[in-house]
Structure 1
């Protein structure tokens, strides 16, 4: 292990958490960072955040529902950690930066629709990190969040968004896990996880249509009230909120990349009435669709 990385690891050393059997349905809503050696995990687990793993040294192999994904030094992996996963194998010299992004935060960012859908549909994104994020940046983010400075923390959030946006500008590989397998240690919530994943998949493919909660619940053969409760308990966001966020993100992309009239964009994003689109867009972004379009076009010119 290189001397500078040894020093960094010593300064950021964390104890391996106790072994968890079954899912981790934690409700963490804050961005979090780690820099440590990855460790073998006997049991599958999951949680609600988007997980970014940046491997600076060594190699490791994940298992996602019995399907293996391997990354080596210089690579990174991005996935929605609600998919049951574990570290199956890791080299002794491995060193990894870990970023956990709250789901609401991830969905609020205007990232390419294809990338968001690949992540939310259970894909594991892998790519070379050397052009996307540096070891020094990872250390700086950890240090900034330890300080707890509000303005600098906001800047870090923006830099994480830009890191993912930069990732999308390069070639990356998406390993999709279309079939849901059962982990070796069955958990009472696993059927619930499968139903929520199917609902998320249905929303990803149909959010720009005039679908309702009843349609989503019917897709997984659940009563609407039970489907809403299950979704909220698993993801800490309601079906309605999630659907609106997906529609707003769709609209952001159209506003940034097309000259379509805003009324047409509202309709193409799944909003039945322009007034509901304007209200939802202002509520989620703090600005009107026209102001967002002007700002995004200015950033493109710069």
Structure 2
């Protein structure tokens, strides 16, 4: 989640290469945002609900959650005065972990991973991460990174994909969430095609005005902005995991041309597709 007061719609949090740990009081977010990290949350007290990838995801105290934050997400419900530890793991560091391909792809394709359980001792260790990251010096910061890597590996290995009962959100109607989930599912299936708002709405059997209003109400961005982000997310995965040509990736992910792909990729990440691919490979 991060310090949401510093985040503007459609902007990245910090640098996509920065590892960061924060502790703050959780709060609801005005609109959805994204940033190119694997985000890890540990709520120390209370509960909260995310809108993630068009769906509601419940988070309870003491159970770590993990998701790819390049997918639009927004907190819509938080119990008052709930302390939260957030870890931002760079995508490059996540890709370097010894995690099986199927699990890694599940995360990059939108899985919201919930920890099955956590002991009080484990919670205390993770709560300490934020303090040691801020004032512990380089040696302790490296220990935090090492501990986070192990915890992430265990979390992925356990395949915890719980979906508890969802908290209600009085600001959003059931139809808005339903339409948004329908549209995000459709984009996930057809993002490689040449799509306009009218075409997406037609495929979903929803009027384009209704689709646009519902989508922006739920996620805080337009349908086409989400489509671009989704295409970019899938392209990043291909760049990291395959040797496919950049032209093929641009075409398969719906960008239409390599020039358009380079333009969008550089604007959103600050690096070229080729540079990103090199940065994900062992040296």
TM-score when scaled to structure 2? 0.69
Which residue is equivalent to 1:226?
A: 260
Asked if 1:60 corresponds to 2:48, the answer is yes
Q: Greater CA radius of gyration, 1 or 2?
A: 1
Q: Does 1:39 align with 2:27?
A: yes
Alignment partner of 1:157 out of 138, 145, 152: 145
Q: Which residue of 2 aligns with 1:118?
A: 106
Cα distance, 1:77–1:25 mapped onto 2, change above 3 Å: same
Q: How does 1:1-302 map to 2 (within 5 A)?
A: 17-18=4-5, 20=7, 22-28=9-15, 29-92=17-80, 94-130=82-118, 134-147=122-135, 149-173=137-161, 178-180=185-187, 182-184=215-217, 185-186=220-221, 189-200=225-236, 202=238, 207-208=241-242, 210-219=243-252, 220-243=254-277, 281=282, 283=283
Aligned length: 232
Alpha carbons of 1:62 and 1:105: their partners in 2 closer, same or farther (altered >3 Å)? same
Against the structure 1 CA distance between its residues 198 and 179, is the aligned structure 2 distance closer, same or farther, given a 3 Å change threshold? Answer: farther
Corresponding residue for residue 6 of structure 1: none
Q: How far apart in 1 are the matches of 2:120 and 2:272?
A: 32
Contact kept? 1:107, 1:245, Cα under 8 Å:
no
Moved more, 214-223 or 30-39: 30-39
State the shift of 1:87 in Å.
0.5
After TM superposition, give the deviation of residue 37 of structure 1 in Å: 2.5
Partners of 2:77 and 2:160 lie apart in 1 by: 23
What is the aligned-residue RMSD (CA, Å)? 3.1
Whole-Å separation in 1 of the counterparts to 2:152 and 2:77: 26
Q: Encode CA deviations 1:193-220: one digit per residue, 9 max, x unaligned.
A: 132134245557xx44x52111101111
Deviation at 1:118?
Answer: 1.5
Judged with a 3 Å threshold, the aligned counterparts in structure 2 of structure 1 residues 128 and 141 are, in CA distance, closer, same or farther, namely same
Provide the secondary structure at the position in 2 that maps to 1:211. Answer: coil
- Whole-Å Cα distance in 2 between the matches of residues 153 and 42 of structure 1? 32
* TM-score normalised to structure 1 length: 0.66
d(CA) in 1 for partners of 2:121, 2:11: 28
Unaligned 5+ runs, structure 2: 164-180, 188-210
Given that 1:47 and 1:82 are in contact with CA atoms closer than 8 Å, whether structure 2 keeps it comes out as yes
Q: Please state whether the residue corresponding to 2:21 is helix, strand or coil.
A: strand
